[in-house]
Amino acid sequence: MLLLLLPALVNSQSNNIDSLRNAFNNAAPGRARYEAASNVYFYYQELNRDSALFYTEQQLINAKGRQNSIAEGVALTNQSYQLMGLGKYGDALKCLQQSFVIAEDKSNENQERWEYFLTAFHGNSRLLLLSYTHHMYALLMLYTENSRSFISKLQAKLVKRLTMHREYNWLC
């Protein structure tokens, strides 16, 4: 019985990516196209690094075009993850360094809120970016066998998450 459903399941997955690509191609430049590029990126994230990298470039173009620094930082961090997967550690580090500059700038807390991930986030987007960037930096340190830095970045990430949790609970 399960074998009878297999062609339908495979076909529905290919229809999903077609729908996501159509949404991207038809989206207006800026926020809508950034969010559509994000959806396609998340589809390809672990399936096809080259395609995923292309959609991080689209995220960057649209974030910069609308001057949304937080969206730009998320795109750079997504790009770093794909570059790590391709073994381009130096380029990944450059992306993370740019993302850290954005994430550490408190003036970016006033950025227009976009949907950066598949699930909505209602806290401080700058701190979310900072936590996400620390997470990817820790992963880079793990890939490059720099375990001391890996542990310190995980500790920094934990502190950022606790800060975000405290801020969110204070707002509620």
- Whether pLDDT at 12 is above 50: no
Q: Read off the pTM.
A: 0.79
pLDDT of residue 146: 79
Handedness of CA 146, 152, 156, 161 (dihedral sign): positive
Res. 128 pLDDT band, cuts 50 70 90: very high
Mean pLDDT over 85-90 rounds to 96
Q: Which domain holds residue 110?
A: 2-171
For residues 72-93, average pLDDT: 97
d(CA 39, CA 21): 9
Long-range contacts of 77-83 (CB under 8 A, 24+ apart): 77/129, 77/132, 77/133, 77/136, 78/41, 78/45, 78/52, 79/53, 80/136, 80/140, 81/45, 81/136, 81/139, 82/45, 82/49, 82/52, 82/53, 82/56, 83/53
Average pLDDT over residues 21-36: 96
Instruction: Give 84's pLDDT tier (boundaries 50, 70, 90).
Output: very high
Output 10 or 154, whichever has higher pLDDT: 154
Confidence tier at 157 by pLDDT (50, 70, 90): low
CA 131 to chain centre: 11
Check if the beta carbon of residue 40 is closer than 8 Å to that of residue 20.
Answer: yes
Cα–Cα–Cα angle for 110, 76, 66, rounded to 5 degrees: 45
The predicted pLDDT at position 110 comes to: 87
CA dist 91 and 101 (Å) reads 16
Q: What is the CATH number of the domain that holds 98?
A: 1.25.40.10
In the predicted structure, residue 10 carries a pLDDT above the cut 80? no
User: Rounded to an integer, what distance in angstroms lies between the CA atom of residue 150 and that of residue 134?
Assistant: 10
Q: Is pLDDT of 11 > 60?
A: no
Please count the structural domains in the chain: 1
What is the reported pLDDT for 115? 87
Higher pLDDT, 35 or 112: 35
Classify residue 68 by its DSSP letter: -
Residue 169 binned pLDDT confidence (cut-offs 50, 70, 90): low
- Tell me which DSSP letter residue 123 carries: S
Mean pLDDT for all residues in the chain? 86
Tell me the one-letter amino acid at 36: A
Question: Could you give the CA distance from residue 9 to residue 125 in angstroms, rounded to a whole number?
Answer: 36
| Residues 63 and 75: beta-carbon distance below 8 Å | yes
